[in-house]
Structure 1
Amino acid sequence: MHYIFEELFFPPVSEADEDGILAVGGDLSPARLELAYKNGIFPWFNEGEPILWWAPDPRMVLFFDELIVSKSMRKILKSNQFKLTFNQNFAAVISNCQKIKRDGQNGTWISNKMIDAYCQLNAQGLAKSVEVWQDDVLVGGLYGIDLGVVFCGESMFSKVSNASKVAFIALVEHLKKENYKLLDCQVYNPHLESLGCREIDREEFMSILENKKAF
């Protein structure tokens, strides 16, 4: 495991330990976060802990043609009960992701410092959001890092049934139209698996991220 401090540096992802932890320390400056994501690395740590930088193997991703949309979900999408916007209220989305209660979790890894850092990235055009509205009320959404070839999903929330799924599907459709290669979902999650996400080797993920793999 590597310890990083003021120097703007990350070791190769191949040096991550078996849990996927690559480095400890540093800061959440926009420059460091941008460097991390462009090199297949992301921060994930609890409040009060040192910053942990991850590059897991395998990596959970979605290839757009493998998206699973159930019949019931298709009906919901056609019903127009939700309104969608893109990158119109990033701060509200990430704040809701922080506050939403999740099964099996006592707290959240999205600290106020994380919110400040990602809002700075949003102002720079690197972090983006999807918003889902119902009767002009924000009821769901997601946010992540836009690398052009790959979109790195960070977190999503839902205040009413299926709102986060609507955001996820809308994002996938948008990315597919814009010729992105895949959606990075970082680590295994059974909910994401139900939507068609699967694990691939870190080496394959890095090849796609570096735009070396032909499609």
Structure 2
Amino acid sequence: MITPDLLLHAYRSGLFPMAETRDDPDIFWVDPRKRGIFPLDSFRISRSLAKTLRRDAYQVTLNRDFEGVMTACADREETWINDQIFDLYTQLFALGHAHSIEVWDDGVLIGGVYGVTIGSAYCGESMFSRKRDASKIALAWLVDHLNRCGFTLFDTQFLTPHLASLGAIEIPRAAYHQRLQDALQLDADYTAHPLADSGQDVVQRNGQTS
């Protein structure tokens, strides 16, 4: 039986769980040969995204609707989030080890991201977007928050073209494990600071505008 403690132990060892499909009750552990990470000092903000962030047309919140973010991330034709994974991560959230950032438009949840924190590592799990740039907005605010709270590693598990366009890179498994061990030697507190005051602050403090 997989427990929250076992799940945290797996993360500290560089593993994360997945299911083949939403309806598959089984979970398997993954340790990719190539690992995606976001260097926290080089998040790439395009001119159009910077304009969107500065406009502050959306509300961004911290840990307001973790289950809503997970549900939205699983609401796609193919997903690796089955019922057991959903239950485990909501337990981690209740214990303070998992966190979400939500993007709202007139009270409607339109984007978000969630992940697990261990030491000074943030292990990103999934994100979703129901309006243009909503997931990019969530990631920009997340990177700003991780930097301000003392995190040193942002794990994205895999590298996708979407993440690469924002500055994510791919590193070998051994290099990831070394970075993870380094990050575990430090303690970062995800709730040490509130979110940024504005999108303008996010743009000014983070990233390479292109």
Alignment of 1:35 onto 2:9: yes
Identify which of 145, 161, 169 aligns with 2:116: 145
Cα deviation, residue 61, structure 1:
0.3
Q: Does 1:154 align with 2:128?
A: no
Alignment of 1:15-94 (within 5 A): 27-46=1-20, 47-48=23-24, 50-94=26-70
Aligned to 2:182: 211
> Are the equivalent residues in 1 in contact too, given 2:18–2:27 (CA < 8 A)?
yes
Letter in 1 for 2:29: W
Match of 1:119 among 90, 113, 138: 90
Q: How far has the Cα of 1:98 moved from its partner?
A: 0.8
- In structure 1, stretches of 5+ residues that fail to align are 1-26
Partner of 2:140: 169
Could you list the structure 1 runs, at least 4 aligned residues long, displaced by more than 6 angstroms after superposition. none
Q: CA deviation at 1:49?
A: 5.9
1:98 partnered with 2:69: no
Q: CA RMSD in A?
A: 1.7
Identity of aligned residues (%): 39
Aligned amino acid, residue 36 of structure 1 = A
Q: Which amino acid aligns with 2:35?
A: R
Unmatched segments (≥5 aa) in structure 2: 186-210
Deviation by residue 1:94-132 (Cα, 9 ceiling, x = unmatched): 011111x3xxxx421111221111000000011110010
Higher relative contact order (CA 8 A, sep 6+): 2
Contact 1:207 1:213 in 2 (8 A): no
Q: Note if contact 2:16-2:30 (Cα within 8 Å) is conserved in structure 1.
A: yes
1:9 corresponds to which residue? Answer: none
CA distance in 2, matches of 1:96, 1:55: 25
- 1:182 CA displacement: 2.0
Aligned to 2:204: none
Q: Is the 8 A contact 1:145 1:151 kept in 2?
A: yes
Deviation of 1:148 after TM superposition, in Å, equals: 3.1
Offset at 1:50?
3.3
2:107 paired residue number: 136
Query: TM-score normalized by structure 1?
Result: 0.81
Give 1:90's aligned amino acid: F
